[in-house]
Amino acid sequence: MSHLLTRYPAPVALLLGAAAACGFAPLQLWPLTLACFAAWMWLVHDAPTWKAALWRGWVFGVGHFTINDNWFQHAFDFQDKMPPVLGYVAPLALALYLAMFPMVAAGIAWRFRRSRVDLAWVLLFAATWIATEWVRSWLFTGYAWDPLGVIWVPVQPVAALTRVTGTYGLSGLTVALAGTLLVLPQRMKVVAGGGMVVALLVAQALSYRDVALPLAPTTPRLVVVQPNVAQDERGESDGEMMLRRLSALSGRPSAAPRLVLWPEGVIRDFVEDGYPLWVYGNRSPYVIRERMAALLGPRDLLLTGGTALNFKADGDIASGYNSVFAITPDARIAARYDKAHLVPYGEYLPMPWLLKPLGLARLVPGDVDFLPGPGPRTLDTPTFGAIGVQICYEIIFSGQVIDPAHRPRLLFNPSNDAWFGRWGPPQHLAQARMRAIEEGLPIVRATPNGISAVIAADGALLATVPHMEAGAIEAALPAPAAPTLFSRVGNWMAFVVAALLIAAALVLRRRAR
């Protein structure tokens, strides 16, 4: 094994990175990820020079992120300004950039190696991984998709650690666990103990089942609607067919108050008043809101994705907001939330002065760029209490999903995953489950074609509508948990974990002397 790794380090690192991506949804082969990280860490330690270590780290990252982000290819299938064939290049191009982060982690760790892999070096490597993964979450607006800790979502006892460590801290502990596979063979008793722990975790993962909450006749409830609308159908029938699909799945008023939740990216009509008449065409915003309100009882509320617009002085559209509107039973807009963390190339084109002349365009249909909203916001509702909103991509950013001054009792995460292929939706769902665990809050996802879900505050799936199916969830509002340590401290906990790993490594090195 060691001979193979040494003789062909670059191809082996590439394959290890690609195989490590299989630990994430939808495959969830997390033991394979641990094994691949262990082998890669050995490969980095064995590098003859610092530049060789950097190279082995970068190649590993290229393989890892190309496979993990393969869903990105499908985004090119839904616009006409760039050929869809570019979609097959896009995941690789993105991976060439993202691979810099494991490259830096590998390069820093290599500087502290000894003649053989020891536990101190493993802990230092884990600390560098935390730092680079955190930087990835904000550099150039951030790309926090699938941090390593997300592989533990199916294994609830391990995922529960994020209540304290947060996801980036858990990622570092995961690297440390993988690295111990290189150290443990030195002591057979420890190997046996580690094997028992792994066996228990596997048993827990296999025995995990979704849980349904009881629904009494007067219990306030959620109605989560998934109309099964493909990305290229969103403008069907000038919005009329979409409204009918959503209405048909939304049910009717009952004795219990209902919070009806519609997804992002389906309602194409403008529901706000005050725009120039030409914007509306022949579809009055008040009439659209009346049709929504007709679905509601006197204590119901509808939260739906939509678009808000800004206008220039001459009346032309200047920009927009990706928004959620709260529609009341009397057809009013009670509140509006504007998405803050926008998707580059999806909701706006960075550096348009440079990229548009090169023929590059947004990957989602539309010519109007969105502006960012002010950040996490909690909507106060009379029947359902404080409801937080995070639209689509925003939910992947650990520590940035709630207003700390006004903690909600539930997070609504409308999303449009219809352009994410088959790997993207389960990965997106897994990351939403991590936010639920971190914050101790239930999260509800409504998407056009899946995966819609009600997630408990411990990350358990209470109900889902599968991918590529139409349906609706009717469920009791899940209860929030007490604020977690992470919800109080945020991503400072990642630094605490990294500092503890470094301190432990220094103690071990001093004892070794």
pLDDT tens over the chain, length 513 residues: 556 667 789 999 999 999 999 999 999 999 999 999 999 999 999 999 999 999 999 999 999 999 999 987 776 665 555 566 666 787 888 899 999 999 999 999 999 999 899 999 999 999 999 999 999 999 988 999 999 999 999 998 899 999 999 999 999 999 999 999 898 765 454 445 545 554 554 454 444 444 455 667 778 899 999 999 876 665 544 578 889 999 999 999 988 999 999 999 899 899 999 999 999 988 999 999 999 999 999 999 999 999 999 999 888 998 899 999 999 999 999 999 999 988 876 665 554 544 454 445 445 555 678 899 999 999 999 889 999 999 999 999 999 999 999 999 999 999 998 878 889 999 999 999 999 999 999 999 999 998 999 999 999 999 999 999 999 999 999 999 999 999 999 999 999 999 999 999 999 888 876
Given a contact cutoff of 8 angstroms between Cβ atoms, the answer to whether 276 and 238 are in contact is: no
Q: Which of 412, 350, 352 is nearest to 386 (CA)?
A: 412
Q: Which two tokens stand for residue 91?
A: 């995941």
| Cα torsion through 165, 109, 178, 433, rounded to 10 | 30
State which amino acid sits at residue 288. I
Beta bridge partners of 320: 309, 370
Report the pLDDT value the prediction gives residue 392, as an integer from 0 to 100. Answer: 93
Report the pLDDT value the prediction gives residue 510, as an integer from 0 to 100. Answer: 87
| Residue 370 DSSP one-character state | B
In the block, tokens 């929504």 appear at 292
Q: What is the sign of the dihedral through the CA atoms of 149, 150, 156 and 160?
A: positive
Report CA Rg, the chain: 24
Phi-psi sector, 199: left (phi>0), alpha (psi -120 to 50), beta: alpha
Report the pLDDT value the prediction gives residue 1, as an integer from 0 to 100. Answer: 52
Q: Which of 30, 283, 44 is nearest to 171 (CA)?
A: 30
The b/e string for 156-188 (b: 16+ C-beta within 10 A; e otherwise) is: bebbebbbbbbbbbbbbbbbbbbbbbbbbeeee
Q: How far apart are CA 30 and CA 22, in angstroms?
A: 7
Strand order of the β-sheet with 317-327 is 333-338, 317-327, 301-311, 258-261, 221-226, 471-476
Q: How far apart are CA 344 and CA 365, in angstroms?
A: 14
Report the pLDDT value the prediction gives residue 205, as an integer from 0 to 100. Answer: 41
| Cα torsion through 365, 369, 372, 376, rounded to 10 | -20
Report the pLDDT value the prediction gives residue 442, as an integer from 0 to 100. Answer: 96
**Which stretches of 339-427 are assigned E, i.e. beta strand?**
377-381, 385-389, 410-414
Q: Which two tokens stand for residue 190?
A: 């420890």
**Which stretches of 82-159 are assigned E, i.e. beta strand?**
none
Domain ranges in the chain are 2-209+491-512, 223-476
Given a contact cutoff of 8 angstroms between Cβ atoms, the answer to whether 481 and 436 are in contact is: no
State which amino acid sits at residue 174. T
Q: How far apart are CA 238 and CA 280, in angstroms?
A: 11
Provide the H-helix boundaries in 137-233: 156-159, 162-183, 188-207
Is residue 26 within a helix (H) or strand (E), and if so which, with residue range?
none
Given a contact cutoff of 8 angstroms between Cβ atoms, the answer to whether 472 and 249 are in contact is: yes
Omega within 30 of 0 (cis) for the link into 455: no
In the block, tokens 């420890």 appear at 190
Q: Which two tokens stand for residue 52?
A: 């060789």
Report the pLDDT value the prediction gives residue 207, as an integer from 0 to 100. Answer: 44
Q: Which two tokens stand for residue 189?
A: 């008793």
381 to each of 224, 328, 378, how far by Cα in Å? Answer: 17, 10, 10
Report the pLDDT value the prediction gives residue 202, as an integer from 0 to 100. Answer: 46
- The CATH label, of 3.40.50.2000, 3.60.110.10, 3.40.190.10, 1.10.8.640, for the domain at 223-476 is 3.60.110.10
